[in-house]
Structure 1
Amino acid sequence: MNKTRKPLDESIVKEFVFGKEQNINDNDLVPSKTVELYTPKEAPTSTIKTTIQKINEIPTQKEAVIRFTVDLPESLHTKLSILAAKTKRKKSEIVRILISDALENSD
């Protein structure tokens, strides 16, 4: 039942360690199938402006207004006040922009 193993000769050892030697022709280097690389035609342009960019812009049109009263938590009011101070805008303008963005994104 105990079979003795065959001794490995030098060529088999080299083949196992280094792999088979292959003769490479120039025809072997040519790909069998051509592959087209993807090149974008134009760089994608972002048409969507961030809310902060909209807040920093100067308003372009005036429209009739309707009064709307909102009760805010103190923490939210503080954040709104800080943003208004940083952007040198009125809080009401910032709220209008935020509401406008929220309504556009809801569609």
Structure 2
Amino acid sequence: MGKQRKPLDQILGAFEEDVVTPSLPISRDENIPTNQNSLAAQLAQPSRKKSTIRFTLDLEKSLDKRLTQSAAKLNRSKADLVRIAVNRLLEELEA
């Protein structure tokens, strides 16, 4: 076999050491709040991947179309938007 690859955690750790993240997200649009609790702030902050569980979700076509348009507008995947929405819902339910 060939050369053994580096673990992804090691590669990611080296990359993150070089990146300087701002303490507050910068918004170019006055309509987007820049506080840490805003959805826009959460979308601007990259997060480390954790272990995941895959499940299937059936959506009505109209809801899928809205989700697809929002994902394209924010340059994020539909899965990212659903994860954020579920997380926010659970936080509100737990409060």
- Of residues 36, 39, 58, the one that matches 1:51 is 39
Aligned-pair identity (%): 34
Which residue identity lines up with residue 81 of structure 2 in the other structure? I
What TM-score do the two structures reach when normalised by structure 2? 0.57
AA at the equivalent of 2:42: K
* Structure 2 gaps, min length 5: 1-33
Contact persistence 1:51–1:101 (CA under 8 A)? no
- 1:68 lines up with 2:59 in the alignment: no
Identify the residue that residue 97 of structure 1 maps to in structure 2.
Answer: 84
Q: What pairs up with 1:72-87 in 2 under 5 angstroms? A: 72-87=59-74
Q: Compute the TM-score of the two structures, normalised by the length of structure 1.
A: 0.51
In the other structure, the counterpart of 1:14 is none
SS in 2 for 1:49: coil
Structure 1 spans left out of the alignment, 5+ residues: 1-45
Deviation sequence 1:23-72 (CA, Å, 0-9, x none)? xxxxxxxxxxxxxxxxxxxxxxx9662224322x1322210010011000
Structure showing the higher helix proportion among its residues: 2
Aligned residues: 61
For residues 35 and 72 of structure 2, what CA distance do their matches in structure 1 show? 27
Highest CA radius of gyration, 1 or 2?
A: 1
Cα distance in structure 1, aligned partners of 2:76 and 2:35? 23
Q: Matches of 2:91 and 2:79 in 1, distance apart?
A: 18
* Letter matched to residue 54 of structure 1: Q
